[in-house]
Chains A and B, each alone.
Chain A
C-alpha cells in the first residue's frame, strides 16, 4: 500500500526571505497564523490555490516549497 508524505520548505524559505514572521506570511497569503504553523509542522496539507500563493509570496516554484514522496509500505 502506498503511503504519501508531504514535505515543505516554508520555514526555511521564511528565514531566507528576510526572516519574515509567520504572521507576516499569513497576512500575505490570506490565512491565519495557526494555518501557517500547521503547514510548517506538516499537520495540514494546504489547498492548491494556497500552495501557489505561498510559492509566489517567496518568488519560487511550487515544487521548491512542497515535495511529495510516495513510499511503498
Chain B
C-alpha cells in the first residue's frame, strides 16, 4: 500500500470520526436539553472547520512544489477530484431520497420535527465521507480512471 493510499484511509477514518463524534454529541445535547442555538452552532462550526480538509488536497500540488519527496501528485489530485464529485452526486441523491421518504411517511399535509434536520445533515456527511473514501479506494485499486483500458 503506497503512502498516499495510507493517507487516504487515514483521511477516511479521521473524517468519519471528526463528523461522527461532534455530530452525535450535538444531537445528544439537542435531545437531552432541547433545541437551542449552542449545539447547532457548535455542530455547524465543526462541520465547516473540518469540511475545509476536503479542499487541502486540491492545493497540495502547488504547496508541495518546493519539497524534494513527492507524496501527492497530479494522479492523486485527479483521483481526489473524481472521488469528491462522486460523493457530491450521491449526497444530492441522498437528500432527494430523504425528502421523498419524509413526504411518503408523513404525507403532503403532515409535519416533521426540526430535530430531523441535524440528523439528516449528519447522515449526509457520513455518506459523503464514505462514498469519497470508497471512490478513492476503487480508483487506487484500478490505478486511476484516467487512461484506463
Measured CB to CB, the closest approach of chain A to B71, in angstroms, equals 6
Chain A residues with a Cβ closer than 8 Å to the other chain, count:
20
| Contact residue among B68, B72, B143 (Cβ-Cβ distance under 8 Å from A44) | B143
Asked if A44 and B73 sit within 8 Å, CB to CB, the answer is no
Asked if B70 and A31 sit within 8 Å, CB to CB, the answer is yes
Of residues 19 through 62 on chain A, the ones whose CB sits less than 8 Å from some CB of chain B are 26-27, 30-35, 37-38, 41-47, 50
Measured CB to CB, the closest approach of chain A to B43, in angstroms, equals 36
Asked if A47 and B4 sit within 8 Å, CB to CB, the answer is no
Docked pose: A37 CA to B4 CA in angstroms: 14
User: Which range holds the interface residue count of chain B?
Assistant: 20 to 34
| Contact residue among A31, A37, A41 (Cβ-Cβ distance under 8 Å from B73) | A31
Known contacts: A27-B68, A30-B73, A43-B142. The answer to whether A6 contacts B2 by CB under 8 A is no
Which residues from A are CB-within-8-Å of B142? 43
Which residues from A are CB-within-8-Å of B3? 32
Which A residue's beta carbon lies closest to that of B75?
Answer: A35
Which A residue's beta carbon lies closest to that of B1?
Answer: A34
Asked if A43 and B68 sit within 8 Å, CB to CB, the answer is no
Which A residue's beta carbon lies closest to that of B72?
Answer: A32
Asked if B68 and A32 sit within 8 Å, CB to CB, the answer is no
Measured CB to CB, the closest approach of chain A to B82, in angstroms, equals 12
Measured CB to CB, the closest approach of chain A to B143, in angstroms, equals 3
Please give the residue numbers on chain A whose beta carbons come within 8 Å of chain B beta carbons, in ascending order.
5-6, 26-27, 30-35, 37-38, 41-47, 50
Please give the residue numbers on chain B whose beta carbons come within 8 Å of chain A beta carbons, in ascending order.
2-5, 65, 68-76, 142-144, 146-149
7 A-B pairs within 8 Å (CB atoms) are namely A32-B2, A32-B71, A32-B76, A42-B149, A43-B142, A43-B144, A47-B74
